[in-house]
Structure 1
Amino acid sequence: MAEDLQALMQRIQKDAVDKAENEAAAIIARAKEKAAEIVKAAEAEAAAKLEKADKDAEAFTERSERTLEQSARDLLLSVGKNLEKMILDLLNLQVEKSLDESTVKDMLKTLAKNYSSDIEVDFSEADAKKLTSFVTGEFAKELGKGVKVESDKGVKFGFRIKLDGGKVTHEFTEAAMADALSALLRPQLARVVNAAAQAK
């Protein structure tokens, strides 16, 4: 009887241990499952964050490149405008220097051969004083027609010729010559700036 009791107690103890081990194994299995789910979720979250960071970095790089390209274009345009202004200022200065008294007289002599009516010549106030005797003398003689000399505040250097009572004018002023020369020069400047822009 004592042996039966002993065997019963051992079986109860063994059943209790087996049950505890089974429960422990189930708890461990659930814990491992939960841990695996947590790791999987963390990995997915990390992958999503990494993908978002990559996309954000790519978008930022793209925006930065576009901003740099726009800045480079703006800089080239600004440099081009400044270069054009500088060249046109130099051009104006050279035209002014070129329209001295001697050059104006030579131009008028050449023009006298091409006009066949009375004309008016407009100068700056200073040039009108210097050149009136030439225009009414030697120029009028070559022209063979009537000549009138006027001063015009709109003329700084050079002269303007009026025909047919002012209905027709021919400009030989520094402004007209500089405009004509700069119109020829602008396409060249545009090509230089475009070439510089494409060389980057």
Structure 2
Amino acid sequence: MSEDLQSLLDRIQKDGVDKAETRAAEIIAAAESKAKNIVSEAQAEAKRLVEKADQDSTSFAERGKKSIEQAGRDVVLTVENAVTEAFERILAAKVKDSLTGDVLKEMLGRIVEAYCTKDGSEHIQALVNPADEAALKEFMLSTFAESMNKGLVIKGDSDVISGLKVSLVNADVHHDFSADAITEALCHLLRPQLTAIMKGAGSASSKG
């Protein structure tokens, strides 16, 4: 009887140990599987973050490069505009200073010679700055008295800062020889050359 009891106890103990070992193995297997999943997910997340960081850094570098290039273009345009404006101011001042005294007399004299016919068919009206009116009238009366008598009219006009504006009354023809008009024409003529010079200087400095 005692042997049967001992055998039963041994069997119970063995079954308990077997079940415990099986359960332990299941727990360990589950833990290992979960650990593998966690590691796999962590690795995937780390890879995603690295790839995103690479993309962000590339995008940032590209944006930075584009920003620098745009800033460079803006600086070049700003310098070109500043130089062009300074050039036009200097040119305007030079033209204005030149269109006085003997130059105006010569200009008006050549216009009269070109348009005033012997029969007086062309009537010329010249608009000048009021400050130049008296001197030009005196000059024209002493040099082109016949033309003055045939219809040459010299009038002061405060809108003419420097230079003169000429109208052929009969032919409805107008010529603007004011400082503003001459400056504008010269700027239109010289601006492409000035731009080419500045671009050439910019290319040389960038290579250096």
- When normalised by structure 1's length, the TM-score is 0.81
- Identify the residue that residue 59 of structure 1 maps to in structure 2: 59
SS in 2 for 1:63: helix
Q: 1:193 to 1:43 in 2, by over 3 A?
A: farther
Whole-Å Cα distance in 1 between the matches of residues 41 and 198 of structure 2? 56
> 1:16-46, CA deviations, whole angstroms, 9 ceiling, x for partnerless residues?
3343233222211211110000111111122
Shift of 1:154: 1.5
- Identify the residue that residue 92 of structure 2 maps to in structure 1: 92
- Identify the residue that residue 125 of structure 1 maps to in structure 2: 130
Select which of 175, 182, 186 maps to 2:187.
182
- Identify the residue that residue 102 of structure 1 maps to in structure 2: 102
Select which of 161, 165, 190 maps to 1:160.
165
Whole-Å Cα distance in 2 between the matches of residues 108 and 179 of structure 1? 20
Structure 1 window deviating more from structure 2 (45-54 vs 87-96): it is: 45-54
- Identify the residue that residue 38 of structure 1 maps to in structure 2: 38
Select which of 172, 184, 199 maps to 2:177.
172
Structure 1 window deviating more from structure 2 (113-122 vs 125-134): it is: 113-122
> 1:23-70, CA deviations, whole angstroms, 9 ceiling, x for partnerless residues?
222211211110000111111122222223333333333333334433
- Identify the residue that residue 49 of structure 2 maps to in structure 1: 49
- Identify the residue that residue 70 of structure 1 maps to in structure 2: 70
Shift of 1:185: 1.9
Equivalences for residues 145-156 of structure 1 within 5 A: 145-156=150-161
CA contact (8 A) 2:129 2:162 kept: yes
Whole-Å Cα distance in 2 between the matches of residues 156 and 97 of structure 1? 11
Query: Whose relative contact order is higher, 1 or 2, with alpha carbons under 8 Å and at least 6 apart?
Result: 1
- Identify the residue that residue 143 of structure 2 maps to in structure 1: 138
Identical pairs, percent:
39
Structure 1 unmatched ranges of 5 or more: none
SS in 1 for 2:115: coil
- When normalised by structure 2's length, the TM-score is 0.78
Computed over aligned residues only, the root mean square deviation of the Cα atoms, in angstroms, reads 3.1
Structure 1 window deviating more from structure 2 (162-171 vs 187-196): it is: 187-196
Structure 2 unmatched ranges of 5 or more: 117-121
